[in-house]
Amino acid sequence: MTALRATHIRLGHSVGDDLRRAWTRLRPSRPLDVALSTILILLFYRLHQEYNLPTLSTVMHFTTNFITDAWRLPGVILPGFLFITFLALAAFLVYKAVYNRYFHPLSRYPGPFWGSVTDLYKFYAINSIPTEGLKLHQEHGPLIRLAPNLLSFCDPRLLPDIYHARADKTPFYSSWLFGNAVGMFQTLDNREHARKSKIVAPCCSMKTLKKFEKTIDERIAELCDRIKQRSTAHEAVDFSEYVRWWLADVYSHIAYGEPLGCVARGHDVNGLIDAIQSAYSMVGTVAVLPWLFIPLIKNALLKKLVVPYLKASKGIKKLTDNYENMMVKRSTEPHLKFRPCLFDSLLIPNPSRESLSPSEIAAEHILFTSAALDGLAAFISPFIDHVTQNPSIYRTLMAEITDFERRGALSGPVVSHAETTALPYFMACISECLRFESPAQTILPRYVSAGGLVYDGEVIPAGTEMAASPYIIHRSRAVFGEDADTFRPERWLEDQERSARMERYGMWWGYGTRQCTGKYLAQMQMQKLCLEILRRFEVKAKDPERRFVHKRWAVGMFWEQEMMFRGREMGKY
Ligand code: HEM
């Protein structure tokens, strides 16, 4: 709250300073500003002439007339009221836009015009940041203003100052609020997050996850069998779709004791994947206009009237239903009752620590279901594409895998997670794909904490939203090299000191204390699956000219990745 209240602190600037600064900004080198301001002034002049409404007293006069004449002129009252409301709203918006553009404490920072006047620019920025944001940073430098109170930064040295343990998230994250509780990811307050993380994070440590490695093996073996069936029939496989089905199955198996059955049945069982993807529209909207949408969806009556008709909320409902059905199944079906599952420890009361409420546990499950699918799908699809489409990378990688097979260093039926980490070139490809693709690629905003932040001699006030996009940070030439725009795994093998620096400033798992909780689960799944696919099959794009459909949402989305697989003989080497 302190951070929020501090948003409008002016840092000792006087009105005179502001006016002078605004005046210096209106110079002919900014023709777009001058043109827009002129249009605005002309528009107001026209309104003034047309409706003869030059002063506040005239507006008051109209208002009182409308009210007193109400009983006589019912046909006029509504249009009149609407007109005045419209006028008041327009005046407020213009005032806000002018304030944001010229008098806001962040007005000195460069950036897109619309970002400097309205929060609505976030609608565009949320998905365009990896491409447009990168260009803006190249043009304007390390800090750009994406919305009146939001600065995007691309200087990796700022990461520890922004993503520190006491930093609060901003309402940008307040999406998916249809339930009564929020998961860790959407928890804004750092203390509240620490409370939840203390309880949930131990479920996701590498040591705990070891017990699910055999479960992952079972699912990998099933997927590879399916792909093999298709490959013997010389049929192309939509790999991106199979990956999503596989991820839904693995998560369900680990979290509830049995797979959903997507890979076996060859479709999105219960429409769960569609449900997750449909929720994105709401995520985007709530993230951009939290002040409008959060009260709306939290209001009991509106929630009843509006929310059931939104496609996104149907998606969330499906996720919740899936969670509830699976929990009922677990408690009633004997073969599931004693199978160990991911969040078992959350359900057992433990006097030595706090517990999560049932709705908080449900929120974590729903969050994990969607994170487990999106983040990993955004990694596995492009990984297989990068390493198989580049002949030199593919040759080097396959030579390494063959060499390890020959030496008996890859066990079966599925390679172990520990074994995957021993292949240096394979691991360099993993790091390079995390860097280059950055599955979570949108901006990840935090409030500047009390006391503000000094950067380049300038004070950025407390309460400012500061955000970095992993995709942009990973293009820093100072950290990742002059060829940061190229996919080149070798960069991870050339110089130990540089590799350590790249690790230190990499934010593929996020940065600081609020890094990805599913990191170890993700690593285990992606390294084992990718290596096993490459080890068992020769992989080619069906049409190298049209390899997939790609959309940059908050995470990268891949569809229609048609690939041809041909069985390799394992153990031949
Ligand atoms: C390649 C795969 C993945 C990538 C690149 C990834 C990336 C990220 C990133 C960048 C964040 C931080 C976002 C922020 O600062 O706001 C994050 C948070 C999170 N991720 Fe992942 N993720 C992946 C897979 C997973 C998986 C498989 C799970 C769980 C099954 C998961 C669960 C979470 C959770 C719970 C958070 C919130 C952490 C918190 O706020 O404390 N992620 N992830």
pLDDT, tens digit (0-9, with 9 covering 90-100), for 482-524: 999 999 999 999 999 999 999 999 999 999 999 999 999 999 9
Read off the pLDDT of each residue in 389-410 and give the average, rounded to a whole number. Answer: 97
CA distance 93 to 118: 9
Q: Is the Cβ–Cβ distance between 386 and 436 less than 8 Å? A: yes
Instruction: Look at residue 15 in the predicted model and tell me its pLDDT.
Output: 47
CA distance 178 to 275: 14
C-alpha Rg value of the chain to the nearest Å: 27
Q: From the CA of 439, give the closest atom in ligand 1.
A: 5
Phi and psi for 238 in degrees, rounded to 5? -80, 90
Torsion angle in degrees (nearest 10) through CA of 129, 130, 131, 136:
60
Please give the distance, rounded to the nearest whole angstrom, from the Cα atom of residue 513 to the centre of ligand 1: 12
CA distance 447 to 424: 39
244, 516, 523: residue to mutate for ligand 1 pocket, most atoms within 8 A of CB? 516
Q: Is the Cβ–Cβ distance between 243 and 377 less than 8 Å? A: yes
Start-to-end CA distance of the chain, whole Å, equals 63
Please give the distance, rounded to the nearest whole angstrom, from the Cα atom of residue 515 to the centre of ligand 1: 7
CB atoms within 10 A of CB 323: 20
Q: Which two tokens stand for residue 42?
A: 């002309």
Please give the distance, rounded to the nearest whole angstrom, from the Cα atom of residue 23 to the centre of ligand 1: 45
Q: Is the Cβ–Cβ distance between 120 and 415 less than 8 Å? A: no
Return the residue whose CA atom lies nearest to atom 4 of ligand 1: 375
CA distance 364 to 186: 10
Residue 571 — very low, low, confident or very high, per pLDDT cuts 50/70/90? low
Q: From the CA of 163, give the closest atom in ligand 1.
A: 15
Instruction: Look at residue 374 in the predicted model and tell me its pLDDT.
Output: 86
CA distance 517 to 206: 11
Read off the pLDDT of each residue in 56-64 and give the average, rounded to a whole number. Answer: 59
Please give the distance, rounded to the nearest whole angstrom, from the Cα atom of residue 195 to the centre of ligand 1: 18
| Complex prediction ipTM | 0.96
Q: From the CA of 364, give the closest atom in ligand 1.
A: 35
- 224 has binding-site annotation: no
- DSSP annotation of 570: T
Q: From the CA of 511, give the closest atom in ligand 1.
A: 15
CA distance 350 to 355: 7
Distance of CA 261 to the CA centre of its chain: 27
CA distance 122 to 413: 48
Q: From the CA of 183, give the closest atom in ligand 1.
A: 35
Please give the distance, rounded to the nearest whole angstrom, from the Cα atom of residue 563 to the centre of ligand 1: 28
Question: Secondary structure of 145-194 in the HEC alphabet?
Answer: EEECCEEEECCHHHHHHHCCCCCCECHHHCCCCCCCCCCHHHCCCHHHHH
Instruction: Look at residue 40 in the predicted model and tell me its pLDDT.
Output: 66
CB atoms within 10 A of CB 91: 12
Please give the distance, rounded to the nearest whole angstrom, from the Cα atom of residue 368 to the centre of ligand 1: 9
Return the residue whose CA atom lies nearest to atom 32 of ligand 1: 518
* pLDDT tens-digit series, residues 81-111: 778 888 888 999 999 999 999 999 999 999 9
* pLDDT tens-digit series, residues 123-181: 888 878 888 999 999 999 999 999 999 999 999 999 999 999 999 999 888 755 555 66
Return the residue whose CA atom lies nearest to atom 24 of ligand 1: 375
Return the residue whose CA atom lies nearest to atom 27 of ligand 1: 372
* pLDDT tens-digit series, residues 8-43: 333 334 445 545 555 554 444 456 656 666 666 666
Return the residue whose CA atom lies nearest to atom 3 of ligand 1: 375
Phi and psi for 469 in degrees, rounded to 5? -100, 125
CA distance 557 to 171: 24
Q: Which two tokens stand for residue 28?
A: 């002919």
* pLDDT tens-digit series, residues 236-257: 999 999 999 999 999 999 999 9
This prediction has a pTM of 0.85
Please give the distance, rounded to the nearest whole angstrom, from the Cα atom of residue 18 to the centre of ligand 1: 42
Kindly state the helix (H) or strand (E) to which residue 41 belongs, with its residue range. Answer: helix 31-51
Hey, what amino acid is at 256?
Y
- Provide residues with CB under 6 Å of ligand 1: 184-185, 197, 367-368, 371-372, 375-376, 379, 439-440, 444, 508-510, 514, 516-518, 521-522
Phi and psi for 137 in degrees, rounded to 5? -65, -40
Q: What is the full DSSP assignment across 102-141?
A: IISTTTTS---HHHHH-TTHHHHHHHHIIIIIHHHHHHH-
Length of the chain: 573
Where helices occur in 306-390 by DSSP H, the ranges are: 311-332, 334-337, 344-347, 358-389
Q: Is the Cβ–Cβ distance between 273 and 248 less than 8 Å? A: yes
- Tell me the C-alpha to C-alpha distance, in Å, between residue 263 and each of 225, 298, 538: 10, 37, 21
* pLDDT tens-digit series, residues 297-327: 666 666 666 655 566 677 778 888 899 999 9
Give all strands (DSSP E) within 412-457, no chain letters.
Answer: 444-447, 453-455
CB atoms within 10 A of CB 79: 10
Q: Which of 46-55, 132-141, 238-247, 379-388 has the lowest mean pLDDT?
A: 46-55
Residues 6+ apart with CB under 8 A from 126: 284, 287, 288, 442, 443, 554
Torsion angle in degrees (nearest 10) through CA of 164, 515, 458, 171:
-100
